Amino acid sequence: MILLNIGGKNIKLTVNERILLHLRRYYTAQKEVEAPFAVTQKGIADAIDIRVTHVPRSVKKLDEEGLIYESVMHIEGLDKRRKAYFLTDKGMYQANEIKRNLEGRTVPFKDQNGKVRDVKISEIENLTGIKLDVLDLIKLIDKEGLLYQKSIESLVKKTVSDEKKDIKIFDFPHKVPIIKDFVDRKEEREILLGWIKDQDITLISINGTTGIGKTSLLADVAFKLKDKMNIFWFGFGKGEGLNEMMGHLSEFFTRINRGELKAVLRGKDRGLGELLKGTLTALSSTNAILIIDALDDSDDTSKKFVYLLSQHLDEFIGSKIIILHRDQAKRYVKETMDSKHFKSLYLRGLDKKSCKAILGLKRLEKDEFERIFKLTEGNPLALKLIKSEDVGELEKSGKYTKDELTLIRYLKSLDKIEK
* Cβ contact 233:321 at 8 Å: no
- Second-level CATH architecture of 170-346: 3-Layer(aba) Sandwich (3.40)
- Second-level CATH architecture of 5-164: Orthogonal Bundle (1.10)
**pTM score, two decimals?**
0.58
* Cβ contact 328:207 at 8 Å: yes
Pairing between β-strand 10-12 and β-strand 5-7 as defined by DSSP bridges: antiparallel
Going from N- to C-terminal start, the domains of the chain cover 5-164, 170-346, 352-413
Kindly write down the DSSP assignment for every residue of 114-174, as one continuous string.
S-EEEEEGGGHHHHHS----HHHHHHH--TTS-EEHHHHHHHHHHHHHHHHS-PPPEE-GG
From the list 201, 413, 150, the residue with the least C-alpha distance to 318 is 201
Per-residue pLDDT of the chain (419 residues; tens, 9 = 90+): 333 444 444 567 899 999 999 999 898 888 777 888 899 998 899 888 888 889 999 999 999 999 999 999 888 766 678 899 999 999 999 999 999 999 898 889 888 888 899 999 898 888 888 888 888 888 888 777 788 888 888 877 656 555 545 667 777 656 666 565 567 788 999 999 999 999 899 999 999 988 888 998 998 898 888 778 889 999 888 778 999 899 889 888 888 878 889 889 888 888 999 999 999 988 886 889 999 999 988 999 999 999 999 999 988 888 999 999 987 766 777 778 788 999 999 999 998 888 888 777 655 667 777 877 887 888 887 777 777 655 666 666 666 666 666 666 656 654 555 55
